[in-house]
């Protein structure tokens, strides 16, 4: 039993989940991906703590890898690339550019989560699921040979990125320092107070503060400030002198902006987006593998069609030669040679078109299986030899449609994605609803002050050493003993009288939520349609195949019979030519019917969300770009 036969059996289509590893969430996928973000370089030469300095050094993102895996080279021999359907799947997982692009998705989502954990706004990152390649035209030489539709931004890439409602505070602490040095000269209008005409002040100021906000809406700042001043006036009791204070300021939101549900909504939404990103990667794998398999089986059909066209050409050539011999001996009219020549050129044209389709199809498939496309000379010059042949089972073992629909609703990526996005809508709705509340804040402030300096002769003449005389340590002692404390507390209330913007945002978000709920139901309905159409497609493909086989058999019998009659002189060359054309067309129709059946099976797998399961694809291997299965054995050289 070859791979395709096994793939079409019920056992192959329903391989138990225990035989497969489907790691769908961010941590598991990111741990397996070959793409990485390297940590900051070694900072030992800076001295100090690497753990602290690394927060300010950019991490390194390695350049893209455009090298193919060794699997591709292992399947090439003597200018031919030997491929089975299993090899196509493995090469797609390892080398396809669309899948490689989606491998960056979980890393991008993870970085946005880091941003959200710091209180930053969400960023829209990543790309949509790219549609896979399409086969060349079956009707003749195709003009569009790239076979790759443009990237689609829809599908599972739809994510909930919004920032309505109360502003989210920065959740990363901050440390601020300030230092200044000043020289000030102030002319004096009253020299009695200062004793001089111009007051000169030399000032050195320093301030350091630490700020932290919490997800409950509490913001606090601890500040230490000191100022050193020296003046040229003799009427100061302390000169130079230092003032210092420690201040703790706390503000708590009580209505608007209160609570973890409001201030962590971006984190929750981005955690959901991590799941969406993983589902999007899974969808890209499904889309690309499905398209690649369709291209591969079309290549098989083109190969079989070329064989049929070559056989028709050989028959036409043989007919021409026979007619020429009979004309020479006088048993056949010369017009029959002309008729045979016309048939020969017609068969040659059909053979050339079939060969062109095959070459174009090879180009499309090679572009899907290689990161550099057909840019490399080695790959551009090889011909693809498919190792699989069409094998259609005697009957289709398909479960009832209701059971298939239920399985599809549990497995389809689009359904799960829409449910996650609905949950993100509801999470955002909590913050938007909170913005309807007035802004009420409670605040408190506690300050401890200190003063110290050198006693001047003026102060000593007035009655002794002042209590503040001393060095900077004296000022710190006053602060920590809380000799001179300041207290303040209060609240701030801001009531928007009409509040139209907040009401509009909430109503708009609710309407969008209802739309998304309807879109989910629409998607569920579409899944039912997809499954039923896929089942009908299987039935139609089988009926077409049966009819094509019977038509080919009858055409073969008719051709063989008329050919024998012609050899005995009981039929005309014209009739043989017509029979030959009919037989070539019937053979081509049979090949296309087999290809259509393969497409129908692949479409059913996709409609059921079973593409990965049927083709034994592990999401971990797809994310890492390394498939453990060995390449197919190449036929021995002849």
Per-residue pLDDT tens for 153-205? 443 444 445 578 888 999 999 999 999 999 999 998 887 777 888 999 999 99
DSSP code of residue 38: B
pLDDT at position 508: 94
Query: In this predicted structure, what is the pLDDT of residue 397?
Result: 83
More confident residue, 620 or 50: 620
**Residues 387, 404: Cα–Cα separation, whole Å:** 31
Q: What angle do CA 301, 303, 307 make, to 5 degrees?
A: 110
Q: Which residues pair with 222 in a beta bridge?
A: 210, 248
Predicted pLDDT of residue 377: 63
CA-nearest of 353, 327, 354 to 339 is 327
Per the document, the length of the chain is 638
pLDDT band, very low/low/confident/very high, at 31 (cuts 50, 70, 90): very low
Average pLDDT over residues 376-391: 86
The DSSP annotation for 439-480 comes to: EEEEEEEEEEEEEEEEEPHHHHHHHS--TTBS-HHHHHHHHH
Region for residue 446 given its phi and psi (left: phi exceeds 0; alpha: psi -120 to 50; beta: otherwise): beta
Q: CA–CA separation, 388 vs 300, rounded Å?
A: 8
H or E stretch covering 587: helix 573-607
Confidence of residue 13 (pLDDT cuts 50, 70, 90): very low
**Which pLDDT does position 8 carry in this prediction?**
42
The yes-or-no verdict on residue 393 having pLDDT over 90 is no
So what's the pLDDT on residue 320? 87
The pLDDT value recorded for residue 220 is 97
- How confident is residue 138, by pLDDT bands cut at 50, 70 and 90? very low
Does residue 583 have a pLDDT over 70? yes
Nearest to 489 by CA among 444, 448, 440: 444
The pTM assigned to this predicted structure is 0.83
More confident residue, 184 or 339: 184
490 — pLDDT class (breaks 50, 70, 90): very high
Query: Is 572 a residue whose pLDDT tops 70?
Result: yes
Percentage of residues of the chain with pLDDT beyond 70: 87
Look at residue 160 in the predicted model and tell me its pLDDT: 47
Question: Mean pLDDT over residues 114-133, rounded?
Answer: 89
Give the separation between CA 400 and CA 406, rounded to whole angstroms: 10
pLDDT at residue 536 in the model: 94
Model confidence at 217, pLDDT cuts 50, 70, 90, reads: very high
What pLDDT does 162 receive? 53
What mean pLDDT comes out for the span 498-527?
A: 94
Cα–Cα dist 390/592, whole Å: 11
Query: In terms of DSSP bridges, do strands 383-386 and 80-83 run parallel, antiparallel, or are they unpaired?
Result: parallel
Is 90 exceeded by the pLDDT of residue 379? no
Q: Apex CA 476: angle with CA 471 and CA 478, to 5°?
A: 100
Stretch among 118-127, 164-173, 257-266, 370-379 having the lowest mean pLDDT: 370-379
Using 50, 70 and 90 to split pLDDT, how confident is the model at 277? very high
> Does the pLDDT at position 257 exceed 70?
yes
Mean pLDDT of the region 338-359? 90
Structure tokens at 309: 């066209």
What pLDDT shows up at residue 17?
34
d(CA 593, CA 562): 26
Instruction: Give me the helix-helix angle, 413-434 and 265-329, nearest 10°.
Output: 150
Higher pLDDT, 332 or 258: 258
pLDDT at 16: 33
pLDDT in tens, 432-485: 999 999 999 999 999 999 999 888 877 777 776 677 888 889 999 999 999 999
């Amino acid at each position: 039993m070859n791979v395709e036969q096994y793939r079409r059996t019920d056992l192959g289509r329903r391989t138990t989940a225990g035989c497969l590893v489907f790691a769908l969430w961010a941590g598991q996928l990111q741990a397996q991906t070959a793409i990485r973000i390297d940590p900051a370089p070694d900072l030992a030469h800076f001295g100090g703590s690497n753990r602290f300095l690394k927060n300010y050094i950019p991490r390194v993102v390695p350049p893209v890898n455009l090298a193919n895996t060794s699997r591709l080279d292992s399947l090439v021999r003597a200018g031919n690339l030997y491929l089975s359907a299993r090899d196509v799947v493995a090469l797609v997982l390892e080398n396809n550019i669309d899948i490689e692009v989606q491998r960056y998705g979980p890393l991008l989502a993870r970085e946005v989560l880091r941003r959200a954990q710091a209180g930053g706004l969400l960023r829209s990152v990543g790309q949509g699921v790219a549609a896979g390649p399409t086969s060349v035209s079956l009707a003749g030489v195709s003009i569009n040979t790239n076979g790759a539709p443009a990237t689609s931004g829809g599908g599972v890439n739809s994510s909930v990125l919004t920032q309505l409602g109360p502003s989210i505070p920065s959740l990363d602490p901050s440390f601020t320092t300030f230092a200044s040095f000043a020289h000030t000269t102030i002319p004096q209008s009253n020299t009695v107070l200062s004793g001089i005409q111009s007051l000169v002040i030399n000032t050195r100021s320093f301030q350091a503060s630490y700020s932290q906000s919490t997800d409950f809406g509490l913001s606090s700042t601890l500040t230490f400030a000191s100022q050193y001043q020296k003046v040229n006036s003799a009427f100061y009791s302390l000169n130079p002198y230092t003032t210092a204070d420690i201040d703790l300021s706390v503000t708590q939101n009580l209505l608007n902006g209160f609570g973890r549900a409001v201030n962590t909504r971006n984190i929750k939404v981005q955690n959901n987006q991590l799941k969406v990103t993983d589902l999007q990667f899974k969808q890209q794998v499904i889309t690309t593998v499905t398209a690649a398999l369709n291209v591969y089986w079309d290549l098989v059909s083109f190969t079989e069609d070329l064989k049929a066209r070559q056989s028709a050409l050989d028959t036409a050539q043989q007919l021409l030669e026979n007619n020429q011999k009979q004309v020479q001996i006088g048993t056949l009219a010369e017009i029959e040679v002309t008729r045979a020549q016309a048939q020969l050129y017609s068969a040659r044209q059909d053979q050339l078109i079939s060969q062109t389709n095959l070459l174009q199809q090879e180009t499309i498939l090679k572009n899907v299986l290689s990161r550099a496309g057909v840019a490399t000379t080695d790959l551009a010059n090889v011909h693809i030899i498919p190792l699989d042949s069409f094998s259609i089972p005697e009957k289709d073992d398909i479960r009832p449609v209701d059971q298939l629909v239920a399985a599809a609703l549990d497995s389809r990526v689009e359904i799960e994605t829409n449910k996650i996005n609905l949950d993100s809508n509801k999470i955002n709705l909590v913050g938007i609803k909170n913005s309807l509340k007035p802004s009420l804040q409670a605040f408190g402030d506690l300050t401890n002050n200190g003063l110290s300096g050198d006693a001047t002769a003026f102060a000593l003449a007035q009655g002794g050493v002042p209590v503040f005389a001393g060095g900077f340590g004296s000022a710190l002692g006053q602060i920590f003993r809380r000799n001179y404390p300041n207290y303040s507390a209060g609240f701030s209330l801001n009531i928007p009288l009409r509040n139209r913007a907040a009401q509009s945002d909430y109503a708009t978000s609710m309407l969008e939520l209802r739309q998304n709920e309807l879109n989910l139901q629409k998607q569920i309905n579409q899944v039912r349609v997809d499954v039923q159409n896929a089942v009908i497609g299987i039935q139609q493909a089988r009926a077409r195949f049966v009819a094509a086989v019977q038509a080919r058999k009858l055409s073969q019998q008719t051709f063989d019979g008329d050919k024998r009659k012609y050899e005995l002189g009981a039929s005309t060359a014209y009739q043989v030519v017509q029979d030959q054309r009919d037989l070539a067309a019937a053979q081509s129709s049979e090949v296309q019917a087999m290809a259509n059946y393969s497409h129908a099976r692949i479409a059913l797998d996709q409609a059921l969300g079973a593409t990965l399961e049927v083709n034994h694809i592990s999401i971990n291997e797809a994310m890492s770009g390394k498939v453990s299965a060995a390449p197919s054995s190449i036929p021995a050289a002849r």
